Each structure stands twice: as structure tokens, then as C-alpha cells.
Amino acid sequence: MTAILFIYGLIAAIEWRYTRTGKHNKHSRLLIFGFIALLLLLSELLYLIKLKFQLAEPIIAIFNPLEKLLK
Amino acid sequence: MQTVTQAQLFKLFALHLFSTMIAFMLGIMMQQSGYNGPLGILSGALIGLGMAFFAYRLGMRRPDRFFVEYGKEIVGRWLHTPLVLFIAVANLLIGMINFWELQDFLIQFYLVSTPPWAIAGLCGICIAYTVRFGVNSVFRAAEGIFLFSLLSFLLIPILVSESFNWYIGVGLATHFSPREAWPSAYYTSSVFGEMSFVLFIYPYLMQPHRTFRSMSGSMIVAAALVLLHIVPLLLIFGPELASNLNYPELELLRFMRSGSFLETLDPALIALWLISIFVKLGFIVFIISLILAHLLKLKDTKPFVSPVTAFIAVGSLVIVKSNIQFQNLMTGGLLTLFFASELIPILYYVVDSLQAAWRKKRKGRFN
Amino acid sequence: MKGTSRETQSAPVGACPPTLELTPRLEWFKERLDRCYDAVFHTFTIGRGLPCVLIYFQGMFDYLNAEEHLLMPLLRESSERVDEPAGLFDEHRIPLARTIVIDDPDEAIKQVMMGHGVLLQENEAQMLVLPFVSYETRALEEAPNESVIRGPREAFVESLDTNLTLLRRRIKSPLLKTERLTFGVHTQTSVILAYLEGTCPDRLIREVKRRLANIRIDGVLGSSYLEEIIQDSPYSPFPQLQYTERPDTVSASVLEGRIAILVDNTPMILLAPVTFFMMLQSAEDYYQPFIAASWIRWIRFIFLSTSLLLPSFYIAITTFHPEMIPFNLLISISSSREIVPFPALMEAAMMELAFEALREASVRIPKSIGQAVSIIGALIIGTAAVQAGIVSAAMVIIVSVTGIASFIIPNFDLGLSFRLLRFPMMLLAGMFGIFGIACGIILIYVHLVNLQSFGTPYLAPVTPRAARSLKDTVYRAPWWKMRTLPFMANRTNRLREIANMRAWASSEGADDE
């Protein structure tokens, strides 16, 4: 949990430094950091419910019938 | 802009196809197809190349524009965004399962008590570092290690050739069943079809008209290498034992150590092979970052690389609960998802062709 | 570019009085050179009492030469032709070549500082610069750091003029351009850019000048001052400019379209751009038979990777993957490790550090006791440490082989960066085994792939590939096959030699008949 937060924090710090030196305007910076925040939330969510839900489940549910059909 | 040579494209795709295919997929192939695995791989490779052909044709129509940007002119914004996002998600999943397999394999064989997150973290750092430098970094990295990687993968079958049980070879010749080969072909084509993601990097390519030639070259090299590995596996372990091993290729590597002097060769091979996989994952991360950046109308992919890699690393830790679930995932839908994502360029190609034909017809009527 | 504006600003004395009289101007010069013990103001008269003054620095100006060729004739002449109003600048009367006439007093001060003499005359605004520099320089010696067996023995010295001569003597072409720049507000160090026009790409020359243009510094005492300022990635451990003390190496590089940066008072000449593989070439390669030279190159490649990876492989295998070692070897290694109380990583780090210390000590200590230290260090400490059970014998072998391997790299800086990177590699190997090594390799590899030296990719010609340049990279092609210059050279001017210089071998010899 904390480790994920820490990693994303580190990434955000690095990208912050990068976007300040680069040719990024306020709008693009907002998009970038919004995206990082979104991924952070998703990661934390997936990590929190990892015992109840895995990404594999919906994939199997949707695509397994399709695959059966093709094979 | 045009900085990726066709030789680099060829080398990256060849690495991309054979590195994970040989390391992770051979077990499933033999489970599904047994003696017909080689046949399945050959036909699958051809199907995969066929899928990539449409991507090539589509890309050639606008070789200096990015697909994510012009795609909406073909199918409309509201269909384009979810379709492209779907491709991004498929790539994310490719990244995650490769990460997972990497961790699983390393923990099983080499780093028995190391926590998976440490491995995922280190992999992530390497890949993010590679991709953050941009598209050239990935392709040049592939160019530099291609020869070493190829040689090392060629070396393995030669080194194990002494242990072949030639009588098993009879089975290869007599068990001929396209029906049995089909699952292998299906899986192989879903891997080889990843070449259709070339569509996204068209503006970076030098001499784009030669793209298909490069991809065919990659296909031939990769298919030949995979065959050179699956046949020895069959000849040594037989289909039954081989299909029950999680990572038959790596067992083969370890099996190789029955020799005397070359025992110490396998760490070097593993190291090289790991580097090939990193380069492959680098390409995948680059494609995802490119899609996301262009969807958000940003020119710069750099800031997306590290978060995407981090997400893949975290995702790889939670994508499945157990090895069993992973096997279920691999044989029960994931590859179909990849397949579907690789078919998307064909959809665009068809729609674009129809539109072009329609426009032409209308123009003709006005004349 | 030349940093002159700041120097004049910082002068404590006002401008020179705008007069033609000698005395106030002399006063101004004296004020400028106040408390300079070595400044000499030599006053004399020529013609019919026309006062002159010669200003120079004692020890730097060749006074005897000036006296013999300038002052004596002038004085003699003035005693012969007393009726004529003599002026130094009236006609071409100075019996000397290379004299310069200036009228800027600040420029005159600068000339004096450079060891030239400046001659002032009453009723004359112009001043005569006598460039008779004379100071002690080192004689040409054998290259101490890049010795060869078959090649020439000369090495550069500290004097810029001598160095330039060494270069000019080898490339007798008007296309060899040498442009002079000056750096250092106080040191006024001359820097010469030498390149072969037409072969060296204009883009490279412009880029070097553009990077040098920004430099404002108080002093430049060595070429590395400039190197750090103009290299592409200053935080990279890898050298991005090559340095050499061999005139033949510089000449070869200039012929291949590279640019040489000669800095005054340094025997080390910088060469740009540089690639990774250039630093694995030695001057010797081109003097030895090509088969031997190619073989030596392969040895270098092997030991380059050894110097980076051997200790980490040892750590990884003994810690994580002992099953990879052949059984008999495993027994001997583990029996030697049995008594060692430290983990392999610790042991290796200790030994490597000790080795680094030993190496550094042997460079710094006076030569007379250097041998004692290396013998004590290598033999006594090594043997004693093994016998005392602090390190294993296997580790001593590993560290020694690694040490030897790191000295095989011809370029000292590259060897240094590999020795430095060995430590993080060992740490990764100690934590993650083979996997850690693979990660370390890819990090270093990707870094190298993306590193550039003046726009030239560091790993070229391997990646990005330049197939024609491989002939002098992975092997050394025989001279009759080095048809084209490497990829750095100007695209339009890459042909080095004619195609069939060995045509005589296929045609029948005259005396065969």
C-alpha cells in the first residue's frame, strides 16, 4: 500500500521536474498528473481487493466463451 | 522524426516474437497440440503475419501520420477512442502477464526466497529507463543485442542435441492432425499478430514501404527459432512430460547442464534472455504510452512511461491469485483478447477501403 | 568568445592617455605592471634622440634575440645616418619577420603577458610587438601512458607550438586547419581546434565552437576543464571525449574527420567525437599485423566484460546458484570459502576496495617506494589474508583477474568507469543473483545506447549500425581494405584509398617471365 504510494510519489516528483524544464504548459501538466493520480488510484484499488477480485476474472468471463467458440 | 531503420524494426520484432514465445508459451502449445505443435506454430505464424499485413496496408496509406490521430477520421471519434483504448489495455495485459511469468519463473528457479515485488520493481526500473529515452532507445537496444540473443537461442538446441530421443521423432511425422494443431496456431497467431501494432509507430519508420518485408523477415526468423526449440523439447521430454512442465524451455536449459564444461553457460544465457524480454516489454510500454499521450493530445510520451510501467508492475502482482488461475487465464480467454485487439487494424482497413471506394464512386457520379 | 571585455573592465587603472608622447604612456604601462618584479622597461634612443622603450617580461622574452636582430641594427643605423629622422613605422625598416603592429595599449599589455616584447616610440601611436618567446619547455619524450612497441615514440609536451608542429609534421596539407581561441580571464590559455577541412563535417566544427562559445572562466589549466564543460552528458560515468598524448593518434583521428582540441600547457589533446569502440582501439593496433591486432581486440572485448562482470558473477553464483558450478569446482570453492566468515558480497567488496586503494596508492606515491607498496600489497597482504581466513583464495584470484582485466582497456577513463560500475553490479548480484546482473547490464547498456558524443551515438557503429565502419571496430581490417573512412567523416568525402592496391598480386611480376 504505502510502497505503491511511495513509488507513484517518486514518479510524480520525477515527472514534475521533467515537465517544468520541458515545453509543457499548464494544461498538459494537468493531464499528465491527472493520469498518474488515476493510475495510482487504480493500482491501490486493485491491490486492496486482490484477494476478492483479480483482473483475470472478467477476462475469463468475457473471452472464454468466445475462445471456446473459435476452437 | 524518421529515425527507426527497417533493420532495427526487423530485429526488434524478431526479439519480440521469439523471446517470450520460447520462454513462456511452449508449455501451453504442447499441452494443446502435442506432436502437432510445430505445425500449429508454422500456420499460426503465417496467420499472424497475415493480420499484420492489413496493419501494414493501412499504415502505408498515411505513413507520416499517427494512427491514434487519424483513426477517428475513419471510424469516428466515439468508436475510435474505445477501440484504441482496448488496444492499450491489451498491451497492458501483455505486459502484466509477461511480468508475472518473469517473476514466477525467477522465483521458482533462481531466487527462491525473493519477494515478487522486488523483482517486479527492478524489472520496472529497467524497462522504464529504457523507454523513457524514447523510441530510438528501444529499437537501438534491440539492434545491439539481437545477434547475441539469436546466437544464444541457436546454441541451446545444438547443446542439447546429444540427448535427443530420435524414436520420438516418428511421432512428429505420423501424428498429423490439423484439428489438434489449431489451438497452437491460434495462440501463435495471437503472439505473431502483435506485429500489427507497428501501425502506431509508422511516422518513426524510415522507408515505410519496406515494413512488410521486415516483418516477414522477423516472422521467418522467429518461427524458425521457435521450431528449433519446440522440436528438441518434443524429442527430449516427449509431449506428455513437456506439457506438464511450467517452463519446459528453462527445464531444457537446466537439462543441458548434464554436460561437463558447459555447465556454467546457463547463467549467461538467462541473462541474455532476460535482456531480450526487457526490450520486448520496452516496446509494449512504448506503444501504451504513445496511445495514451496521443489520446490526450500530447506530443510527448515521456511522462507516461514511468506511471505505465509502475502500473504494469503493480498489476502483475495482483492480476492472478495463483498459478492455477494463471493457467486458466492463458488457456481461457486472454489470448482471444489479444487476438481481438490485433484484429482492430483490419476493421479500420476495411472501413477505410469502403469509404475510399464510396468516395471514388461518388466522385465518378459527379463527373 | 575570448573573454577580453571582462579583463579590461577589471583593470584598476584608467585608459591610456591619448597622447603621442612617450613618457605619459610609459607611466601608464608602468602603472599597469605595478608590483610586477619581472616586468622590464628598457629605454633607449635611436636616430636623433628619438626615445624608445621596450617592455617585456624577464624570463619569457628572448632578449638576446631581440637585441641582436632589432636593437643592434637600429642603433647602428642611427649612428650612421644621424641626419635622417628615423621612425620605426615609417617604412618597412624592421629587419624581422613576424612582427605585428598594434595601436591598442590594452592589447599591448596582453602581448607582454604572453611573453612578447612591445616596442614604443616617441611621437608614434603604433606599437611594435616582437614575438620572441623563450621559456623552458620539456623535451619530446616517449608517451608514458600510451606506449607502443612498433609505433613512433614521440609524445606531446606542454608547449602548444611544439604540439602543433608535431601535428603539422604529420599532416602536410593546407586542408589541416588550426583555429586559435583563448580561454581564461587570467590565464589567457590558447586553445587550438585542429581539423581536416572537407573531411571533418561542418556540423561538428560548428557544434564544438558553439559549445566552447559559452565558456567564461578565470583559468584553464588543463584540457579536462574544457572537457567537462562541453561534453554531452556530464553526469554519465563514461568519458565522452577521448584524450591522448600521441601525435600519431591525433593525426589518425583528424584524418578520419574528427576534431582535435589542443590546449596550451597540457600534453593531453582532446578528440571529439568519441565512441565506445574507439576507446578500445590502441595506437598499437595499426602498427601490428592486422591478424594480431584483431585478435588483441577480441581479447580486449572479453576482458572488458570480465572487468565489469566477473566479481558479480562470482557473487551471484556462489550466493544464489551454486548448482551451476561443476561439482569438482564447487567442492574446491566451498572448501576455500568454508573458513571465511563473510558473505561473498562482503568479501568481494572488501577485496575490490583494497585493490582500488592499492592501485591509487601506486599511482600517487613516489616512484622509489612504489615497488615496495605493490609487492607488499599484492603478495603479502593477499597471501596473509587467505591464510588468516579473512578472504578465500578463489576471491583473490577473481579480484586479481578483474584487476588485470581492467588495465587491458586502452583508455584509462573507460577503465575507470568500468571499475566504478563494478561496485553497483556487485551489489545487484548480491541481492538478486543473475537476475540482478541482467538488470544491471541492461541499465548500463541502455545508458550507452542513448549516450552521445557531439551528436555521434556512443555505441556506433554497432547500434545504430554502420556496416562499413565495422571493419575498424570488431576487427582491424588490413590497410588495403580500409577503403572508406569511418562514419564520423563527412558523407561526401569518405574515400580513403584506391580500390586495388594489391593489384600487383594478381598481375604477373616482370621477373617471373
Strand order in the sheet with C39-46: C39-46, C50-57, C117-121, C124-130, C100-102
Nearest to C146 by CA among C243, C222, C270, C245: C245
- The residues, ordered by sequence, that sit 6+ positions from A49 with a Cβ below 8 Å of its Cβ are none
Average pLDDT over residues B245-259: 73
**CA–CA distance, B85 with B172 (Å, rounded to integer):** 42
Touch of A by C (3+ CB pairs closer than 8 Å)? no
Angle ∠(C362,C366,C372) on CA atoms, nearest 5? 60
- Helices B178-192/B37-61 angle, 10° precision: 40
CA distances from B171 to B225, B261, B277 (A): 21, 32, 32
What number of C-beta contacts closer than 8 Å exist between A and B? 106
Instruction: Provide, as residue numbers in chain B, all residues whose Cβ is less than 8 Å from the Cβ of A24.
Output: 300, 303
Read out DSSP for B50-73?
HHHHHHHHHHHHSTTS-HHHHHHH
- Cell 622509489 -> residue: C368
pLDDT at B156 over 90: no
Query: B147 at the C interface (CB within 8 A)?
Result: no
| pLDDT score for C94 | 60
Contact B265, B258 (CB under 8 A): no
Contact assignment for B111 to C433 by CB distance below 8 Å: yes
- Name chain A contacts of B319, Cβ cutoff 8 Å: 54-56
Percent of chain B with pLDDT over 90: 54
Rg of chain B over Cα atoms, rounded to whole angstroms, equals: 21
Q: Which chains would you list as touching C if contact means 3+ CB atom pairs under 8 Å?
A: B
- Name the one residue in this structure whose C-alpha cell is 505445425: B39
Residues of chain A with C-beta less than 8 angstroms from the C-beta of B329: 56, 59-60
When the pLDDT of each residue in chain C is averaged and rounded to a whole number, the result is: 85
Name the residue among A14, A31, A43 with its Cβ closest to that of B311. A43
What does the alpha-carbon distance between residue C307 and residue B325 come to, in Å, rounded to a whole number? Answer: 44
Check C465 against B143: CB less than 8 A apart: yes
pLDDT class for B92, splitting at 50, 70, 90?
very high
Do B and C count as touching (3 or more CB pairs closer than 8 A)?
A: yes
On whether the pTM is more than 0.95, the answer is no
Domain count, chain B: 1
For residue range C453-503, list pLDDT tens digits in order.
998 999 988 888 888 888 888 889 999 888 888 888 888 888 888 888 888
**Three cell numbers at A49?**
481487493
Using a CB-CB cut-off of 8 Å, the residues of chain C touching B137 are 446, 449-450
Domain coordinates in residue numbering, chain C = 4-130, 160-274, 289-457, 467-503
Instruction: Give the count of beta carbons closer than 10 Å to the beta carbon of residue B166.
Output: 7
Q: Confidence band (pLDDT; 50, 70, 90) for B256? A: low
DSSP, collapsed to helix, strand or coil, labels residue C275 as coil
Give the pLDDT confidence score for residue B251 in this predicted structure: 78
Interface membership of B260 toward C (CB under 8 Å): yes
Q: What CATH number did the domain enclosing B302 receive?
A: 1.10.4160.10
Name the grid cell of A42. Answer: 487504480
With a cut of 80, say whether residue A71 has pLDDT above it. no
Q: Do A32 and B319 touch (CB under 8 A)?
A: no
Asked if residue B247 is part of any domain, the answer here is: yes
3-state DSSP call for residue C490? Answer: coil
Question: What number is the average pLDDT over the span B202-215?
Answer: 93
ipTM: 0.94
* Mean pLDDT within A19-48: 89
Residues of chain C with pLDDT under 50: 1-11, 85, 513
Query: Domain range spanning residue B82?
Result: 6-348
Distances in Å between the Cα of C113 and the Cα atoms of B45, B87, C116, C129 are: 76, 71, 7, 12
> How confident is the model at residue C93, as a pLDDT?
58
> What is the identity of the amino acid at B196?
S
Q: Note the pLDDT tens digit of each residue in B116-141.
A: 899 999 999 999 999 999 999 999 99
Q: Take residue B251 and report the three cell numbers written for it.
A: 527445464
Mean pLDDT of A28-41: 92
* Mean pLDDT, residues B320-337: 88
